[in-house]
Amino acid sequence: MTFVSDNREAETVSKDGNLRTVIEAGATVGGGSVIAKGVRVGRNAAVCDGAVVTRDVPPFAIVSGNPAAISGYSDAAGRRLTSSEAQRHQKDAVESESTGGRIVHLRKATDLRGSLVVAELGSDLPFVPQRFFIVYDVPSLDVRGEHAHLACEQFLVCVKGSVHAIVDDGSVREEFLLDSANVGLYMPAMTWGTQYAYSSDAVLAVFASLPYDASDYIRSYEAFQREVSQRSSSSRL
């Protein structure tokens, strides 16, 4: 493997830390791979053989290719996650026994005039939304989300195209494939969410239980795990 550096900048990099290359605990870097200067490979991430990594690799992500792109995510044991398609195709809402993520099937009507999907706020959705936004035109190499909320709940619907969604409660991680306008993914508060592998035409609608509040975001996975640990300790007292 090769770590790209520039000796002329070594002193500056050492002082400010902004351009240090960091390989976090549990990460693996495959043979023949190239890691660019200033890249951070997150904890338990996997860089496949021959990958050329020019951007930060999120925790638990699996990257391959040149330039490296995320091809999947692993669980805590290092096993590649697979999309929960069995849950996605069941008629009724399915709640995860581990992360609390839940697939909800919305009502759909189709005739010669087209299709319509409907949801009653306050009954079909797990909460009454106070905020709504749409994510689209996401390059296939990019990853969205990568944060958690202290109090806000979210409900994701891919109204066009497809996207893979990771739900993580701090100890267990699951992957869901969203590819139908009448299939939604409920994410409770204190869930680390990641969306990746957007199709070129993907349009992801997100309903939030609370108005935007910057202080409600947890943007570091390490900080998220600390919060999970603190809440778990408090609940045992």
Question: Which pLDDT score, from 0 to 100, does residue 172 have?
Answer: 85
Q: Answer whether 72's CB lies under 8 Å from 57's CB.
A: no
Q: Answer whether 191's CB lies under 8 Å from 150's CB.
A: no
Question: Which pLDDT score, from 0 to 100, does residue 87 have?
Answer: 44
- What would the two tokens of residue 168 be? 């993580």
Selected catalytic residue, list 89, 105, 147, 149: 147
Per-10-residue mean pLDDT of the chain, 237 residues long, equals 68 55 90 91 91 90 90 82 53 50 87 87 88 91 88 96 92 89 94 93 96 95 92 76
Residues 19 and 23: their CA atoms lie apart, in Å, by 13
Give 122's DSSP letter. T
Question: Which pLDDT score, from 0 to 100, does residue 191 have?
Answer: 95
Neighbours of 58 (CB within 10 A): 21
Give 106's DSSP letter. P
Which positions ≥6 away from 84 have C-beta within 8 Å? 103, 174, 175, 176, 177
Q: What is the dihedral angle through the alpha carbons of 216, 70, 195, 110, rounded to the nearest 10 degrees?
A: 180
- Beta bridge pairs of residue 108: 117
Give residue 79's identity as a one-letter amino acid code. R
Q: Look at strands 69-73 and 34-35 and give their pairing.
A: unpaired
Residues 26 and 23: their CA atoms lie apart, in Å, by 9
Q: Give the residue carrying structure tokens 């099937």.
A: 105
Question: Which pLDDT score, from 0 to 100, does residue 97 have?
Answer: 46
Give 13's DSSP letter. H
Whether residue 147 lies in the annotated active site: yes
Question: Which pLDDT score, from 0 to 100, does residue 159 have?
Answer: 94
Q: Give the residue carrying structure tokens 């759909």.
A: 108
Rg of the chain over all Cα atoms, to the nearest angstrom: 20
| Half-sphere exposure (Cβ direction) of 3: Cα atoms closer than 13 Å | 11
